[in-house]
Amino acid sequence: MVAQRRAPTLEEVAELAGVSRATVSRVVNGSSRVSPEAQAAVNAAIAQLGYVPNRAARSLVTRRTDTLVLIVHERPDTVFSDPFFASVLRGVNQALSPTDLQLVLLQAQGEAQRDRALRYVGNGHVDGVLLISLHGDDIMPTAISAAGVPLVMAGRLLTGGPLDYVDADNVGGARDAVRYLIAAGRRRLATVAGPGDMSVGVDRLRGYREAVREAGDQASAGRVAVGDFTEESGRRATTQLLADHPDLDAVFAASDLMALGALRALREAGRRVPEDVAVVGFDDAALAAYADPPLTTIRQPVELMGQEMVRLLLARIADPYADPTEVVLPTELVVRASA
């Protein structure tokens, strides 16, 4: 049996570098109170010995955990079926890959999970929080901020408030989608809107209404059914719209999954897409190009949103007292066969 090689110690690094143990500790923990010569000697010794700093000991000095948490405020079935969340997570991982930071994923659906997540954050387990999919006047942002933990959100707070967030141009994207439908000759539009307790739902409905009213179409502004960003909710909402407005000739759905549900409802009702009813979604998830017919949609840079959230969070950790930053990323119309 081959004996396992013992990990080098801080003392051995100090001896090889010809400096004190305290100097090695300062270099490892990023202190500026070390001469360039001593820092170079310590780094050379670390490389030669293959020394790996003890994370727990380091955290006692720096009060850092080198851990971020991504809290998703949605049901498990939504998180694992909606491509939006996977894309955000890819962006977050891409931004973290050059760093030594770890990522923890927590769900906070319901009061018990929310309270457990808040205890985890408040007990000093993480250096910062990425928060996704907030509903209504949830207390999480306020509670996290009150605990002094840096926070960045995906999407703005409905209630406003001075917090860092990253979002897509939901109003402008929805407006572009509807303007495209109107320019294509559609005159009896309807929308499957997102939840009214989420800023993304509110903003995309606002963009829809602004565009139809801009065209002098007050009637279409009232043709609204609400879904929850799932495919089934899109199917139900479109079925209801067809029952209430059988002459509609276009549907703008506030997410691609709801647009897929709209396509299914139209097919069940014997309506041809796009000949009878045009359909436009929002997201440009990978599944949009493989829909039947392929889905015209609004592309939002979801992976970039995840990357930008990490960038803002690291900046907030470095400077807790900086002014809040709001990043709104542009969207783009992608034309396919559904409209």
Residue 3 has pLDDT above 60, yes or no: no
- Amino acid found at 49: L
- Claim to verify: residue 135 and residue 231 sit in the same structural domain: no
Q: Is the dihedral of CA 232, 233, 239, 242 positive or negative?
A: negative
Predicted TM-score (pTM) of the model is 0.80
Q: ω before 53 within 30° of 0 (cis)?
A: no
Any idea which of 35-39, 108-112, 196-200 has the lowest mean pLDDT? 108-112
**How many domains is the chain built from?**
3
- Claim to verify: residue 32 and residue 103 sit in the same structural domain: no
Q: What pLDDT, on a 0 to 100 scale, did the predictor assign at position 320?
A: 85
Query: 31 pLDDT band (50/70/90 cuts)?
Result: low
Which residue do the tokens 């960038």 mark? Answer: 311
Cα separations in angstroms, 135 against 65, 131, 155, 202: 29, 11, 11, 11
- Claim to verify: residue 308 and residue 163 sit in the same structural domain: yes
- The pLDDT tens digits for 257-300 are 999 999 999 999 999 999 999 999 999 999 999 999 999 999 99
Task: Summarize the confidence of residues 300-310 as an average pLDDT.
Answer: 96
- Claim to verify: residue 37 and residue 76 sit in the same structural domain: no
Rounded to whole angstroms, the Cα distance separating 53 from 46 reads 9
Instruction: State the residue range of the domain holding 21.
Output: 10-62
Work out the percent of the chain whose per-residue pLDDT is above 90.
60
Q: What pLDDT, on a 0 to 100 scale, did the predictor assign at position 1?
A: 42
- The pLDDT tens digits for 53-63 are 655 455 444 46
Look over the chain and give the mean of its residue pLDDT values, rounded to a whole number. 89
Residue 41 has pLDDT above 60, yes or no: yes
> Where residue 119 sits, what CATH number does that domain have?
3.40.50.2300
- The answer to whether position 1 is within a domain reads no
- The pLDDT tens digits for 172-220 are 999 999 999 999 999 999 999 999 999 999 999 999 999 999 999 999 9
Q: What pLDDT, on a 0 to 100 scale, did the predictor assign at position 100?
A: 86
Rounded to whole angstroms, the Cα distance separating 77 from 188 reads 34
